[in-house]
Chain A
Amino acid sequence: MVSSRHLASLSQRLVGAVELQDVLDAVVGVAHSAIATPRVVLRLFNPRTRLFEARAFGGLDAAELAQMSNSDVTRSEFDRAVAGAQPRGHCFALACEAHGGLRWSAIPAAPVPDLDFADTALGHGADELWICPLEDLSAGVPGGYLVFPAPEAPLEDADAFFQVLASQASMAIDRSRLRARLGHREAEVHMASEKLEDLKRLKDNIISSVGHELRTPLTSVKAYAEMLQRGLGSMPIPTAGEFVEVILNESQRLNDALDDILDMSHLENRRQRLVLSSFDVVATTREIAQEVGQEFVEKGVALRVDVPDTPVTVRADRSALRQVLQNMLANSLKFTPSGGDVSLVVRPETRDVRFELTDTGIGIPAPEMSHVFDRFYQVDNSSTRAFGGQGLGLSICRDLVEWHGGRIWAESGEVEGTRLVVKLPFEGLVVASGNFAPSERRHREQMLQRIANLVAELTATRAVSILLADEEGTLSIEAALGIDEETVRDVRVRSGEGVSGLVYATGETLMVADLAADARFRGRKNDLRYPDRSLLSCPLRHEGRTIGVLNVNNKVDGGAFDTDDQSLLEGLAPVVAVALARLESFQTAHAKLAAAHRAVRAMTDVARDRRSLRREALADAGLETGRRMGMSTSELQSLSLALRTYDLGMAEVSETIRRKATPLNAEELHRVQLHAQEGVELMGEVNECPQLLRTLLHHHENTDGSGYPEGIRGEAIPMGARIVRLVDALGALLEPRPFRSALSLPAAMDFVRGEIGTRFCARVAPVFLEIIEEKQQHLMSLPESGERVHPASLVVGDDLGESPVPVGAGVRESS
C-alpha cells in the first residue's frame, strides 16, 4: 500500500503547514515522490488575475523553473485542454504527438492543433501529460491543479490516491486562505471601527467648534444690549454710542462666521462657476500682499514677498487664486506671533508655478500635517479660541487648487513654523465637451483632467493631447494639457493625415525625433501645430478597435523621446483607452466610472510623489534588466508602467501611517502590506493586462518566500515583480528615512548584493546590479530628488529594515 503511506505523510505535513506556500510545497513534495514522475507543477487559480498561476514545483531544473513560473494558463486554455483530454480516473491525460513536448494534442480522435497550453512544456520525454484537478470538475473551474508527465510506473490505487490527494490539498488550501483572510478581516474590522470613531470625533469637533464660534460674539452682543437697556436714560451718550458700536462689530463677526460656514457648504456649487482667464500671477501676488500688508503691520509680523521680475502667466480663475493666497496669508498671520516673519516666494517651474509661504509661527506637529486641509480641523483643540475661525480657510484652498489640477500641501519649516506649498499648473486643462449636460460635463472634465495629468506625470512631458475619432474616422481633440484652447477647439484631423491621422490609420506608434527634418512629414502639415519637434504618438485601442490617438510631446528635460518612452506610452495607452471607454458609458456604469476615476487619480499621485530624476533612471535600469532577461515587447510595456505605478495601492493607506516615523505596529504593517492587493484592484479598473496585474500584486515578494502578499518564492514570483522589487528597494535605500540616513550608491548595492537569494532573485539581481554598475557615473551625478520629497510614501520599499543596514541607525522593524 505505497500510496496510502504517501497519503499519511501528506496528512502529517499538511497539519503542520499554516502558510499557503507551505501547504502547496507539501502537496507537490508528496505528489512528486508518490507518483514517480520526473516533474510536477501545481497551479492555483488567482481570481484577481483570472489566471492559473504556477505556485509550487517539484523536480524542475533552473531553465524549466524559469519557463514555468513565467507562464500562465487562462481558464479557457485549461477548459480546452481538459475538454479534449482522456479521463484517467480522477485525472485527465493529454497525449504527446511527438516527443519533445512541442506539439501536443488532445486524445483521442480530434487533435487540437497547436494546443495553446503552457504546461505542455513539462511533458517532454513522456507519452502523456496528466492533469489532476484539485476539485471535482463538475463544480466548474477548479481552484487549482497538479500537472505532470504520466507516472513512470503504474500507481497502486491510483484513482483513490489522486482523489484523496486532491481533496486533502484543496481543503488545506481553503483552510490556509481562510485563516489568512480571517486575520485580515479582524484587522480590517478594527480599522473600520477606528475610522468611525475618528468621524464621530470630527463631527463632535465641528459642532462644538461652530457652536463656540457663534456663541462668542453672541455673548458680547447680549451683554452690551443688556447693559444698554439697564442704563437707558442714565447712561452718558458717548458710553451708549460705544456700546452700540461693539454690538454692531460683534454682529458683523457673527455674520462672518456664518458666511464661512455657509461658504463651505456652497463650495461645491462654486466649482461650476470657475472662469478661466490668462493673467499674471506676479501682479496678483503683489496686489494681495499690498492688501493684507496693513494687518501684518498691525500685528507686528514682517511680510516678505519674493516674486520674479518678469510676469508669469497662468490660465486659471483669478478670483479663486486670490482667495487661495488670501486664506493662506491669513492662516500664516493667525499662527505667527508678533515679531515673527512670513515670506511668500513665487517661482515658475517646468509646468507649474510654485507658491511657497513660510512662517515662523507655532508650527504643525508632524502627525497633524496631513489634516490641516480637512474641514474644521485645528491642530490643538484648546487653541481654537486663541486663533478664531473654523479651520475652513485651508480646506477651501485645497478645493480651489485641486480644481485647477494643482496641488497644495504643508511641510514643517526648517527651524520652526510651517511651510505651505501650492503648485498651480500654467495651463489649465482644456476639455472639449460642449454638448454635455452640466453634471455629465463635470464628471467628464474631471476624468479627462485626471487622465491628461496622469499621462503628463508618467511620461514627464509638458504637452499631452487625447484625440478620439468620430464615425467617419475624423479625429478631434478631447482633452489637452499644454496646448492652447483655440487649437483644441479647431483641430480636426482626417485618418491618414498628419502625425495623428497616420497613427490612427496604421495603428502603429510613431516616434519623431525632429518633425521638420523627418522625410515622412516633409510637406505635410503639422496637425497639432506643436511648437516643438520631438513627439510620440500612440494609437488608443479598445476591444480590438482603434478609437483614437494619444500624443505627448516636449519632454520636461528637453531631450528627445527614446524606446523607453515608447514602451511606457504603449503600456499606458490601454489604461487611457479603458478609462475613456468607461467615460463614454458613464450613464450605465457610474460605479465603474468612479472606480476608474479613483484608479487614474491614484496613479497620478504615485507618479507625482515619486518623481525624481534618480527614480526615473532606476526605472530605466529596471526596464533594461527586463530586456536583458529576454522579456517580450508586451511584457516590457507592462513592466515599464509597473515600474512607475507599483505603489498605487498606497494611495489607499492613510497619511498617518505612511509618514509615521516610529516602527509600525502589526495592524499598521498589515495595512501597508494590503497596498499590493489594493494596487491590483485599482489598476484592474483601468487595465486588464494580467501580466501587469501580477507584477503589481507580487512586487513585495521575496525570493525565499518571506515577502507578501502571498509569500510565494523563487521562480514562482513573476519576472516583472522581481525586477520592480529590486528597483523599489534600491531607490528606497538611496533616500533618507526618519529612522536612518540615505545610503551611498555603493553601500546600497552592497546591501542588495548581500540579500541575493533571500530577498532578491539570484538570476535577476546580478543583471540589475550590472546595469546599475554601468550607469553608476550617471546615477551619482543625479540630485537626490527632482524636488523636495513630498512627505507621502515614506514607508513603501522600507521593508528592508530587519537586516543590518550598513550605515544609519534605528532601522524600522518591518516585514
Chain B
Amino acid sequence: MASPRVLIVDDEQPLARILSFALENEGYRVSVANDGIDCMNKVSTFAPDVVIMDIMMPKLDGLEAIRLLRQNQLHRGMAILAISAKSTASVQREATEAGADCFLKKPFQVAGVVREVESLLAAKGIR
C-alpha cells in the first residue's frame, strides 16, 4: 500500500515545517498549503487522506475551507484534523460543526498530532 498522504494547511510556516518533518519521519507523504485558497488547489492534485487545518488564516479561513471540502463529493472520505490557537470555547464546536473530525488546541505536542493522524486513518481503515 502506498504511503498515506497528509496535507498541512497553516500560514504559520515554521509550524507547518516541523509538522511535515515529523510526519515524513513516520513515513507519510506530506504537502503544505499556506491558506484556505491554496488548500483548495492542492486538495485536488495531491488528494490527501488527512488534512490538518488551521482555523485563522488569510484569504479563506479554516472553517470556510472545511465547509467547502465537505460539500465536495470527491473529498467525502477525507479526514480533517482542525487546529487553532484561538482561545474561545466556541472554536472547537464551530470546527466540528463545519465538518472537522477532530480538534487540537495550539500549543500541542507534535507526537499528539501524529497520534491523531494515525487514529483518523485507522478509523477509515487506511492503516
Which residues of A are interface residues toward B (Cβ below 8 A)?
A: 204, 207-208, 211-212, 215-216, 218-224, 226-227, 230, 243, 246, 249-250, 382-387
Q: Is the CB of A220 within 8 A of B12?
A: yes
Q: Is the CB of A382 within 8 A of B12?
A: no
Q: Is the CB of A383 within 8 A of B58?
A: yes
Residues of B within 8 A of A249 (CB): 14
A208 with B106: in contact, given A220-B12, A224-B14, A227-B18 (CB under 8 Å)?
no
- Shortest beta-carbon distance, B6 to chain A, in Å? 15
Q: Is the CB of A223 within 8 A of B87?
A: no
Which residues of B are interface residues toward A (Cβ below 8 A)?
A: 11-12, 14-15, 17-19, 21-22, 54, 56-59, 61, 85-88, 106-111
Query: Knowing that A227-B110, A385-B57 are A-B contacts, what are 14 other residue pairs whose CB atoms are under 8 Å apart, sorted by A's residue number?
Result: A211-B86, A212-B56, A212-B87, A215-B85, A216-B12, A219-B85, A222-B107, A222-B109, A223-B110, A226-B111, A227-B21, A227-B22, A249-B14, A386-B59
Q: Is the CB of B87 within 8 A of A215?
A: yes
Considering the chains assembled together, what is the distance between the CA atoms of A243 and B18 in angstroms? 9
Best-buried of A218, A246, A382 by chain B (most CB within 10 Å) = A382
Q: Is the CB of A385 within 8 A of B110?
A: no
Q: Is the CB of A220 within 8 A of B58?
A: no
A223 with B58: in contact, given A212-B86, A246-B14, A386-B11 (CB under 8 Å)?
no
Residues of A within 8 A of B56 (CB): 212, 382, 384-386
Q: Is the CB of B18 within 8 A of A220?
A: yes
- The answer, among A204, A219, A230, A385, for a CB contact under 8 Å with B108, is A219
Q: Is the CB of A250 within 8 A of B14?
A: yes
Residues of B within 8 A of A385 (CB): 11, 54, 56-58, 61
- The answer, among A208, A230, A382, for a CB contact under 8 Å with B87, is A208
Q: Is the CB of A218 within 8 A of B107?
A: yes
Q: Is the CB of B106 within 8 A of A215?
A: yes
Considering the chains assembled together, what is the distance between the CA atoms of A250 and B86 in angstroms? 18
Best-buried of A215, A230, A246, A385 by chain B (most CB within 10 Å) = A385
A226 with B87: in contact, given A212-B56, A385-B11, A386-B58 (CB under 8 Å)?
no
- Ordered by A's residue number, 13 sampled pairs between the chains whose C-beta atoms are within 8 Å are A207-B87, A208-B87, A211-B87, A212-B86, A218-B107, A226-B110, A227-B21, A230-B111, A246-B18, A382-B56, A385-B11, A385-B57, A387-B58
Residues of A within 8 A of B15 (CB): 219-220, 223
Considering the chains assembled together, what is the distance between the CA atoms of A249 and B17 in angstroms? 14
Cβ-closest chain A residue relative to B59:
A386
Best-buried of B14, B106, B110 by chain A (most CB within 10 Å) = B14
Cβ-closest chain B residue relative to A228:
B18
Considering the chains assembled together, what is the distance between the CA atoms of A208 and B56 in angstroms? 12
Cβ-closest chain A residue relative to B108:
A219
Residues of A within 8 A of B110 (CB): 223, 226-227
A223 with B61: in contact, given A216-B12, A250-B14, A384-B56 (CB under 8 Å)?
no
- Shortest beta-carbon distance, B98 to chain A, in Å? 13
Residues of A within 8 A of B111 (CB): 226, 230
Residues of A within 8 A of B109 (CB): 222, 226
- The answer, among A212, A224, A246, A382, for a CB contact under 8 Å with B85, is A212
**Nearest 5 pairs between A and B by C-beta?**
A386-B58, A385-B56, A211-B87, A219-B107, A215-B85
Considering the chains assembled together, what is the distance between the CA atoms of A382 and B58 in angstroms? 8
Residues of A within 8 A of B19 (CB): 223
- Shortest beta-carbon distance, A668 to chain B, in Å? 30
- Shortest beta-carbon distance, A420 to chain B, in Å? 22
Q: Is the CB of B85 within 8 A of A220?
A: no
Residues of B within 8 A of A383 (CB): 58
Residues of A within 8 A of B85 (CB): 211-212, 215-216, 219
Q: Is the CB of B18 within 8 A of A224?
A: yes
Considering the chains assembled together, what is the distance between the CA atoms of A223 and B57 in angstroms? 20
Q: Is the CB of A219 within 8 A of B88?
A: no
Residues of B within 8 A of A230 (CB): 111
Residues of A within 8 A of B59 (CB): 386
Considering the chains assembled together, what is the distance between the CA atoms of A722 and B87 in angstroms? 57
A223 with B11: in contact, given A215-B85, A385-B56 (CB under 8 Å)?
no
A208 with B88: in contact, given A223-B110, A226-B109 (CB under 8 Å)?
yes
Residues of B within 8 A of A382 (CB): 56, 61
- Shortest beta-carbon distance, A221 to chain B, in Å? 8
Cβ-closest chain A residue relative to B112:
A226
Residues of A within 8 A of B11 (CB): 385-386
Residues of A within 8 A of B61 (CB): 382, 385
- Shortest beta-carbon distance, B53 to chain A, in Å? 13
Considering the chains assembled together, what is the distance between the CA atoms of A216 and B84 in angstroms? 9
Q: Is the CB of A223 within 8 A of B88?
A: no
Residues of B within 8 A of A204 (CB): 88
Residues of A within 8 A of B108 (CB): 219, 222-223
Considering the chains assembled together, what is the distance between the CA atoms of A220 and B107 in angstroms? 8
Q: Is the CB of A223 within 8 A of B18?
A: yes
Cβ-closest chain B residue relative to A383:
B58
Considering the chains assembled together, what is the distance between the CA atoms of A72 and B126 in angstroms? 92
Cβ-closest chain B residue relative to A381:
B56
Cβ-closest chain B residue relative to A215:
B85
Residues of A within 8 A of B88 (CB): 204, 208
- Shortest beta-carbon distance, B111 to chain A, in Å? 7
Residues of B within 8 A of A223 (CB): 15, 18-19, 107-108, 110
Residues of B within 8 A of A215 (CB): 85, 87, 106-107
Q: Is the CB of B106 within 8 A of A219?
A: yes
Considering the chains assembled together, what is the distance between the CA atoms of A387 and B11 in angstroms? 11
Residues of A within 8 A of B12 (CB): 216, 219-220
Cβ-closest chain A residue relative to B84:
A212
- Shortest beta-carbon distance, A38 to chain B, in Å? 74
- Shortest beta-carbon distance, B83 to chain A, in Å? 9
- Shortest beta-carbon distance, A206 to chain B, in Å? 11
Q: Is the CB of B58 within 8 A of A208?
A: no
Cβ-closest chain A residue relative to B58:
A386
Considering the chains assembled together, what is the distance between the CA atoms of A385 and B36 in angstroms? 13
Considering the chains assembled together, what is the distance between the CA atoms of A671 and B86 in angstroms? 37
- Shortest beta-carbon distance, A294 to chain B, in Å? 20
Considering the chains assembled together, what is the distance between the CA atoms of A246 and B12 in angstroms? 12
Considering the chains assembled together, what is the distance between the CA atoms of A728 and B113 in angstroms? 66
Residues of B within 8 A of A212 (CB): 56, 85-87
Cβ-closest chain B residue relative to A239:
B21
Considering the chains assembled together, what is the distance between the CA atoms of A227 and B111 in angstroms? 9
Q: Is the CB of A208 within 8 A of B107?
A: no
Residues of B within 8 A of A207 (CB): 87
Considering the chains assembled together, what is the distance between the CA atoms of A221 and B109 in angstroms? 11
Considering the chains assembled together, what is the distance between the CA atoms of A227 and B11 in angstroms? 20
Considering the chains assembled together, what is the distance between the CA atoms of A208 and B89 in angstroms? 10
- Shortest beta-carbon distance, A48 to chain B, in Å? 47
Cβ-closest chain A residue relative to B35:
A386
Considering the chains assembled together, what is the distance between the CA atoms of A432 and B87 in angstroms? 50
Considering the chains assembled together, what is the distance between the CA atoms of A204 and B86 in angstroms? 12
Considering the chains assembled together, what is the distance between the CA atoms of A215 and B88 in angstroms? 13
A220 with B14: in contact, given A212-B87, A227-B110, A385-B57 (CB under 8 Å)?
yes
Residues of A within 8 A of B106 (CB): 215-216, 218-219
- Shortest beta-carbon distance, A247 to chain B, in Å? 9
Residues of B within 8 A of A250 (CB): 14
Considering the chains assembled together, what is the distance between the CA atoms of A768 and B111 in angstroms? 82
Considering the chains assembled together, what is the distance between the CA atoms of A212 and B56 in angstroms? 10
Considering the chains assembled together, what is the distance between the CA atoms of A215 and B12 in angstroms? 12
- Shortest beta-carbon distance, A767 to chain B, in Å? 61
- Shortest beta-carbon distance, B102 to chain A, in Å? 17
Considering the chains assembled together, what is the distance between the CA atoms of A215 and B54 in angstroms? 13
A208 with B86: in contact, given A219-B106, A385-B58 (CB under 8 Å)?
yes
Considering the chains assembled together, what is the distance between the CA atoms of A383 and B88 in angstroms? 16
- Shortest beta-carbon distance, B92 to chain A, in Å? 14
Considering the chains assembled together, what is the distance between the CA atoms of A368 and B17 in angstroms? 36
Considering the chains assembled together, what is the distance between the CA atoms of A218 and B105 in angstroms? 12
Cβ-closest chain A residue relative to B60:
A382
Residues of A within 8 A of B18 (CB): 220, 223-224, 227, 243, 246
Cβ-closest chain B residue relative to A387:
B58
Considering the chains assembled together, what is the distance between the CA atoms of A246 and B109 in angstroms? 17
Best-buried of A219, A383, A387 by chain B (most CB within 10 Å) = A219
